Each structure stands twice: as structure tokens, then as C-alpha cells.
Chain A
Amino acid sequence: MIEIDGSGALNTREEKNGTEQTQETKLESVIEVNKLNFYYGSTQALIDVDMHIYKNKVTSIIGPSGCGKSTMLRCFNRMNDLIEGTRVEGKVLLDGVDIYAKEIDPVRLRRHVGMVFQQPNPFPKTIFDNVAYGPKMHGVRNKSSLEEIVETSLKKAALFDEVKDRLHKNALSLSGGQQQRLCIARAIAVEPEVILMDEPASALDPIATTYIEDLIYELKENYTVVIVTHNMQQAGRVGDYSAFFLNGSLEEFDTTEKIFLNPSKKQTTDYISGRFG
């Protein structure tokens, strides 16, 4: 069925099957995207995208501005539903289940697929209440369970030691980098399977960025991470897999090593070497 199509997406998939036959058996797909087309009104933002997100790996989505990176990311937890006039064709399978099927409740989906945004956006509440927000909304009322969730989530986000003495202070008193780690802790507290990150470090200074990148590296032990980034070095540092988007199409998808050292397409080479973007 896909054979008749000679698009870039198809090629990359064939190659990956070829070059990684040995690894393929160990890799478990958490998300599988099939022929995904996405429209904002009459403008098409994603064209025939096919890709896999592998379990306990970090997949980075790269490409120039307006190429559909963020749109792709927001298709994974249906945040695009919130924008009026959008339309989706094709399938996004989470553990084999089509998340765009009629019977799927996007609220439940978002408890499985968490999200961290570009701008740190803690609620104007205490640090504790920020992390406890998700569990509370999902019905956890018991105070000691909430305390436990908050502590483990903050520890996993490498923030606990910095804030343990001021859990009941306003989260807006934290620095930008700490706020972003708080947002990661807040996402973790819901115990998602997949964590989506939309340029999580683009608003931060280099040192705060290092913290976030180290954290992403640790997070993949327990979670599957998809990260959109503008920063090529960042994609090279944190991503196990890289997906290069151009004008709404997935141009190339492979291991980060392959994409950076030996890309099979000229556009990929040009973008990664900084010739455009």
C-alpha cells in the first residue's frame, strides 16, 4: 500500500529497516504515525508523515521554522484539538490504539502523553500545588500520597534539593531554569508514558539548558521522550533518533548518529551544516 508512494518519508523508512535490522528487534514502538496529514483551515501543515517513536528513547524533531515540528508534537497528545478549524487525516497509534478514533477521550490521552512547553508556565500557586495539580485533578486526595508524589516527581526532575525547604512558596519565585524543571516535575507527577517537550530550553540560559539536557537523558530510563528543538547541537546531544521535517514533510528519520554524520538527503546535510534554517 505504501510502495506506490515514492516520498521521502517512505525512503527513510526503508533505509532504516535496512541499516538497523539487528536493532529493530529490540526496539519497541510506543507511537506509530501512519500517513498523517494535518490542516489549519485550508493550509496543510503536515503531509503524509510516517514515523515511529521508540520506547525509552529520546526522539528529537528538527527542522526550520514553520516546517511543522510543533504541529507534529501536538498531534501526539491532541493539543491541536484546542485550535478551531484544524483537521487531521491518517492515524497516530499509541500502543497500537488510534488516538484520533471517535471513542478516544483526549483528556485521558493527555494523562498518558504529558507535555512541557517552550515558555516555563508554572501556575501562580505554590511549588507543591504545581506538582500536585495533575494527581489532584485525577482524583488523588490523600495528603500523604500527594506528598510522596510531589517528592518523587521533584527528585526525578532533579529539583528536589533546591526547593525542599520552600515547597509552599510561590512557584513564580523560582528562576526560569528551575521553573522549567518544575514543569517537567509537574508532567512526571501524572505518570505519563510519553513526555513531549516543545523547545524546552529555548527560553533558558546555557547553564539551565545543560541541566534540562542532563535531565532528559535521565528521563528516558523511565519514559519515552519526544523533543522539538531548534538547536542542532541539542538534538545531537540528547536525541537517540532524529526526525528532520521540511515544509510539512518528514524528510529523513533515522538514528541521530546517521542523520548527523551520514544523512542520505541533500536537504538534511544542508540544514544540519547550517546552510539554511
Chain B
Amino acid sequence: MSTLDYLSGTAEKDNIGKEHKKEFGFKIVAVLATLIGIVSLAVLLAYVFTEAAGWLDLQFLTSTPSRFAEKAGYYPAILGSAFVVALVALFALPLGVGAAVYLEEYSRKNFIQRFLQTNIANLAGVPSIVYGLLGLGLFVGTLGLPHGVVLVGAFTLTLRVLPIVIVSSQEAIRAVPDLQRQAALGLGATKWQMIRSIVLPEAFPGIMTGTIISLANAIGETAPLIMIGAATTIFSPPHGLLSSFSAMPLQIYAWSDFPKSEFQHGVLPAAIVVLLLVILTMNGIAVYARNKYYKNKK
């Protein structure tokens, strides 16, 4: 038997030919698995975008909701979401970074630290409706704040995103090389000086990336806002911390109940597209910040 016969597989029947066929079969399965996820998502997006076309215009973005599809607008919900998320950023950033700095730089690596760490990770996995109930009980029931107002919404969503902000800030802080810390301390800096002047500036892009992604999640949250009694439809944007509000996903939820075809196949898709664009933009900013940061590091 010549080498050529053997290597080309013409001479002898062995298992290699069969194995090649198996590999081909598996490849097909893997490609299909990928396509099912991506194609169905793409179809969904394409469908929503085509339905929204013609409805998503300036009038839609600047009007208040209406019984008539042609006059219906998203304006109060957009402003409600923006107001609440801005407050969430204001609350969650200092609390999250503070907790992360404590856990990474100050706390001793003992049982209590591990206990806190494990629980923060678990909190990130608690369903958001549970945070809604917590917000309702704590801020409305115990602290006596009114139902469904901006401040309660922001507090509740802050609790929701805080675990994620803490964990991602911790990761960013941990990524600062220890040599930098030693250099600062070796020069006679106090720990706080070191954290302020070396650790936080270096960790900042990472912290921002995690925070923006968690805020993008918060913008899409519906269940906790329903729990605290936020309006599903409201005709004026919030004008203060204690004013009622609606948010983009809540308005979507409300419109999904409208039987008229113009709502089902026009207004509703337009609202979804606006929400998606906002979330995608925020995630895009987060990715851009992270890439820019890594490029600068090199």
C-alpha cells in the first residue's frame, strides 16, 4: 500500500472517514444553534422597525398620549424615564463606588467580607419584582412617601442596580495594578490619598462602563415600577421629585392593551423602537468608553 493511497483514504476503510462526517454534522448543528438565536432576534427587530416606520416622528416624540393613534405621543414617558434614571445614576454611583472601595481597599479579607461579597452577588440575581415590593414596603409603607412618584421610583431602581454597580466597580478597582498602590503608599501617601489620586482615576472608565450598562437595564425595568404604583399612562411629564410619573416600558405596557390596529401596529412598535434605541445607545457608549480605556492603557 502506497503512502498516497493511505493518506487519501482510497486504500483502506478505517474510522477516519466516518469521523469527518460526524464533525460535519456537528458543525451544521452548531451553525443552526447560532442562527436560531440571531435570526429570530433580527426578524423581530426588522418587524418592529418596519411597523414603527411612519409612526416614529417628531410628533410622536413631543406629544402626550391620546385615544387617537395619530395624536398619540411618548413625550411624558420619555421624560419620566430620563428623570428617574438620572436620579438613579446620582444615587447609585456614590453608593456603589463607596461600597466597592470599602470592600476592595479597606475591609480585611475575612469571613465578614466573604459573607458580604457572596450576598451582593446574590442580590444581583434577585428578580426585579421583589425589589418593587421592597420599594413599596420601605419607601411608601415605612417612610410614608407617596405612591408612584419619581423619588420612590428612583430609590427602588437604585436598589435594583446597586449590586451590579458595586460588583462592576469592584472589578474595575481590582484591575488597578498593586504596584501602583505600593508606589503611592511608599511615597508617604495616606490610603485615602492613594485611592483618590491613583485608584479611582484609573478605575473610572471601568466603573462608568458598569454603571452605564446597569442604567440601561434600569431604563427597561417595568415590574418594580408597576409595584410602586407608577402610572402606565400619564399626560404631563414629571415636574418634581414628588410628582407622579410614567416610564417608557410602562407606556409600552399600556399601549399593548389597546385593541386598535393603529396602536398594535404603529404606536406600540414606535415606542419599542425608541426604548431600544435609548438602551442600545447607552450600551454603545459603555463599550466605547471601555475600548478607549484599553487603548489608552497600551
Chain A residues in contact with chain B, CB under 8 A? 77, 79, 82, 84, 107-111, 114-115, 117, 119, 121-124, 133-134, 137-138, 183, 186-187, 190
Contacts and interface: CB of A to CB of B under 8 A. Distances in A.
B108 A190 contact: no
Interface string B183-197: 111111110010001
A150 to B, nearest CB: 14
Nearest to B196: A137
Contacts of B109: 84
A73 to B, nearest CB: 11
B180 interface: yes
A110 B187 contact: yes
A164 B155 CA distance: 52
Interface string B167-186: 00000000001011011111
Given A84-B109, A123-B180, A137-B193, A117 B186 contact: yes
A119 B179 contact: yes
A186 B188 CA distance: 11
B202 interface: yes
Contacts of B202: 124
A111 B185 CA distance: 9
A107 B185 CA distance: 7
Contact of A107 (B177, B183, B189): B189
A54 to B, nearest CB: 22
A79 B180 CA distance: 13
B188 A82 contact: no
A117 B179 contact: yes
B198 interface: yes
B183 A183 contact: yes
20 contacts: A82-B182, A82-B185, A110-B185, A115-B186, A117-B186, A119-B179, A121-B179, A123-B184, A123-B198, A124-B180, A124-B297, A133-B187, A133-B189, A134-B187, A137-B184, A137-B187, A137-B188, A137-B189, A183-B183, A190-B187
A183 B197 CA distance: 17
Nearest to B188: A111
A117 B188 contact: no
A114 B186 contact: yes
A117 B181 CA distance: 12
A269 to B, nearest CB: 35
Contacts of B190: 107, 137
Nearest to B179: A121
Given A124-B202, A133-B197, A137-B197, A107 B188 contact: yes
Residue from the set B109, B182, B187 with the largest chain A CB neighbour count within 10 Å: B187
A123 B183 contact: yes
Given A84-B108, A109-B188, A110-B187, 18 more contacts: A77-B186, A82-B185, A84-B109, A108-B188, A114-B187, A115-B182, A117-B182, A121-B179, A121-B180, A122-B183, A123-B180, A124-B297, A133-B189, A137-B188, A137-B189, A137-B197, A183-B183, A187-B187
A190 B187 CA distance: 7
Residue from the set A137, A138, A187 with the largest chain B CB neighbour count within 10 Å: A137
> Which 8 A/B pairs are nearest by Cβ-Cβ distance?
A111-B188, A115-B186, A121-B179, A134-B187, A110-B188, A137-B189, A121-B183, A137-B193
A137 B192 CA distance: 11
A84 to B, nearest CB: 6
Nearest to A78: B185
A137 B195 CA distance: 12
Residue from the set A119, A122, A123 with the largest chain B CB neighbour count within 10 Å: A123
A133 B187 CA distance: 8
Contacts of B183: 117, 121-123, 183, 186
Contacts of B184: 123, 133, 137
